[in-house]
Chains A and B, each alone.
Chain A
Amino acid sequence: MFDSAPAPAFRLPTALTVARIDEENYRTKTIVLNGALEATPGQFVMAWLPRFDEKPFSLVDNDPITLMVTAVGPFSRLVHALEPGDRLWLRGPFGQGFAVPHGQARLAVVGGGYGVAPLLWLARSLARTGRTVTTIIGARTANDLLYAERFAALARFRPPHATAYDLIAATEDGSRGVQGRVTDALLSLLEAGAIDGIYACGPDPMLSALRELGQRYAIPCQLSWEAYMRCAIGICGACEHEGKVLCLDGPVVRD
């Protein structure tokens, strides 16, 4: 039904059929679509339901196009009601994704809540480059911890060239992994001088805390900030964050 080569970009909303839906937790599903897109981890797409609404989603993967959708409102509840064979319209990809410089060998990939969405793809592609990757994922409780099994699988079946791949799960109530926040887990690694770069996505307070840690230990950060994307093409200004237009200059911002 679709070309096997990834599409360079969908300028206008383009209808794709749902191939598979995975239930992740009590309010989150992963939607796999029939299609592929040229993109990099950290970029996002706009998903449209005709005559209803259009919302931004990080790409969980580009081939096949995969989105993580947490039911937080009418739009995401409608997406949750989709079944294989149903259609969802996408345009994109948009924005700047993560870009890891050559010099960094030991990376922390840090995700909070549904901020893990773009990080599985990033961690997988980084592990292929022979770097040491430590993924830290966090949430309030074990029930809220997303993609833990997927990240764990990545750790078990790590690609042949990966030097090391570690997964640390942190929950605020200690119901899974270490008790505490992702920043607590990262702090000990930073103190040990074991990290050259921080790559993160999650709620604003978490990203602000990570940025402070990065500054304190002089470790460069690439942080993916969340904003209300309206035009998605850099002109309306709705997603402004500290002088940057996140849909164009971000969502991944380098510090």
Chain B
Amino acid sequence: MAIPFVLFNSRNHGRSIIITDTYPTMNTRTPFLTHTLPTPLVLASGIWGTTVSLLVRAARSGCGAVTAKSCGPAPRAGHVNPSCLDWGGGLINAIGLANPGAEAEVELLAQAKAELEPLGAPLIASIFAGPPDEFATVAATVARARPDFVEVNISCPNVHSDFGEPYAASPDAAAEVTGHVVDALAERNIPVIVKLAPNVPSIGRIAQAVTAAGADALCVINTMPGMLIDAESGQPILANRSGGLSGPALKPIALKCVYDVRKACPETPIIGTGGVTTGVDALEMLMAGASAVGVGSAIHFRGPDAPRLILDEMTAWLAARGMDDLNAVRNRAHHEPLYAAVPTGAPVPSAH
């Protein structure tokens, strides 16, 4: 019997830095909707803003697709500082959707698209809005830049005061917004990715609702709400008081959400995002059911070359196990049972 792949020891957790191009035969090409990404890594929205030079830099450093910072119907300054902090287990941010507005962003997105095209890295525009029909307006605006995909941010945890509870919290609301964007982009044939929130009772239900409403793919997940308090002043540290957790602390939550969404929507492409910092993290995300893997806070934890490091670690890990295609590990976590036998099981605790 073949030794089940999942029994391999990964004690060092892939945290050693391996910089190598010694596996030229490794297939990292990742089918994703209408495109084939050169690598499975996707720059997450909000990282490095909408600056063209930085989006291109991300693609050059190993991202197979890049997501621009979410833009909305009007320019937004975002929250004052502190707006992003490293608290030890990860980051917390409340940038507050700072963006120049969709109109101003069209030009930037078009320029980014032109510079990314020769690199083979698709551009994902990200949008947010207030009322559901306003999502359609913003989507139609950014569509003028002809992004390869549009991601719909219905899950930002940092703008409640302006926009109320995230649409991602309710299947009906999430589906309504999705429908507006799908209609707005149908004519241009731009696929729609909906970004889901982790803090819901059943992310599978939300995923099914938005795919039924026409979403082509899902980004799973956005940040998880949290708060830091400074004991010396007794005050929340973020100017917005609360923010979204990302980085290593988010990974187990993201893996669970991706796993659940894969179960709920077996055929829907998923960008698995949340706490991926190493190559092994990224492989775990693929095993949970992700089609591609978002990278964000790793830029802080590993440096600007994080995508390249992660990709090299993925490649080295697979090569060490005799594999030459990273697509081989996809959905592994869903392959069970591993044994024909049934374990004895834990004893029921006695009631004394």
Interface centre among A89, A235, A238 (most CB of B within 10 A): A235
B95/A236 in contact, CB under 8 A: yes
B304 contacts which of A15, A51, A248 (Cβ < 8 Å)? Answer: A248
> A15 vs B230: C-alpha distance in the bound complex, in angstroms?
9
Q: Are B82 and A237 in contact (CB under 8 A)?
A: no
Cβ of B232 under 8 Å from chain A: yes
Task: Please name the residue on chain B nearest to A231 by beta carbon.
Answer: B84
Q: A11-B88, A235-B47 are in contact. List 18 more A-B contacts (CB 8 A).
A: A12-B228, A15-B230, A46-B81, A50-B230, A54-B80, A54-B81, A54-B82, A89-B233, A230-B95, A231-B93, A232-B84, A233-B300, A235-B48, A237-B47, A237-B48, A240-B48, A240-B51, A245-B304
The docked-state distance in angstroms from the alpha carbon of A230 to that of B82 is 7
Residues in chain B near residue A238, CB distance under 8 A = 49, 98
Q: Is the beta-carbon distance between A11 and B87 smaller than 8 angstroms?
A: yes
A13-B237 CB under 8 A given contacts A235-B297, A237-B54, A237-B69: yes
Chain A residue contacts of B83, Cβ below 8 A: 230-231, 236
Residues of B within 8 A of A233 (CB): 84, 86, 91, 300
Q: Is B256 an interface residue (CB 8 A)?
A: no
Q: Establish whether residues A237 and B87, one from each chain, have CB atoms under 8 Å apart when the complex forms.
A: no
Tell me what chain B mostly uses at the interface: helix, strand, loop, or mixed.
loop
Q: Which residue of A lies closest to B57 (CB)?
A: A243
Q: Tell me the chain B residues, 79-131 only, with Cβ under 8 Å from chain A.
A: 80-88, 91, 93, 95, 98
Closest Cβ of chain B to A94, distance in Å, is 10
Whether, in the assembled complex, A234 has its beta carbon less than 8 Å from a beta carbon of chain B, the answer is: yes
State whether A87 and B232 are in contact (beta carbons under 8 Å apart), knowing that A46-B81, A235-B47, A236-B49 are contacts in the complex.
yes
Q: For the complex, is B140 an interface residue (Cβ under 8 Å from A)?
A: no
- Residue contacts A-B, CB under 8 angstroms, 8 given: A11-B85, A12-B230, A15-B232, A48-B82, A48-B237, A51-B233, A233-B84, A237-B47
In the assembly, what is the distance between CA of A12 and CA of B227, in Å? 13
The answer to whether the Cβ of B296 comes within 8 Å of any Cβ in the partner chain is yes
> A249 contacts the other chain (Cβ, under 8 Å)?
yes
Chain A nearest Cβ from B331, distance in angstroms: 30
A242 close to chain B: CB less than 8 A: yes
Per CB-CB distance, the 4 closest pairs between chain A and chain B, nearest first, are A237-B49, A231-B84, A54-B81, A243-B53
Which of the four size classes fits the interface of chain B?
A: 35 or more
Q: Evaluate contact between B304 and A249: CB separation under 8 angstroms.
A: yes
Asked if A211 is at the interface of the complex by the 8 Å CB criterion, the answer is: no
A235 contacts which of B57, B84, B88 (Cβ < 8 Å)? B84
| Contact surface of B with A, Cβ cutoff 8 Å | 46-51, 53-54, 56-57, 69, 80-88, 91, 93, 95, 98, 228, 230, 232-233, 235-237, 239, 296-297, 299-300, 303-304
Bound CA–CA A230/B85 (angstroms): 10
Distance in Å: Cβ of B329 to nearest Cβ of chain A: 27
Q: Which residues of A contact B303 (CB under 8 A)?
A: 234, 248
CA distance A232 to B93 in the complex (A): 12
Closest Cβ–Cβ distance, residue B43 to chain A (whole Å): 11
User: Of B54, B81, B296, which contacts A240 at CB under 8 A?
Assistant: B54
Residues of A within 8 A of B81 (CB): 46, 48, 53-55, 230
* A91 adjacent to chain B (CB < 8 Å): yes
State the CA gap A156–B83 with chains docked (Å).
44
- Give, as a whole number of angstroms, the nearest-CB distance from B56 to chain A: 8
Per-position 1/0 for A33-66, Cβ under 8 A of B:
0000000000000101011011100000000000
A245 to B303, CA, bound (A): 11
Contacts of A50 in B (CB 8 A): 230, 233, 235, 237
CA distance A129 to B209 in the complex (A): 67
Distance in Å from the Cβ of B308 to the closest Cβ of chain A? 15
What 1/0 flags go to A11-30 for Cβ under 8 Å of B? Answer: 11101000000000000000
- Taking the closest CB of chain B, its distance from the CB of A225, in whole angstroms, is 14
Are B54's CB and A235's CB within 8 A?
A: no
Residues of A within 8 A of B233 (CB): 15, 50-51, 89
Residue pair A12, B84 in contact (C-beta under 8 Å): no
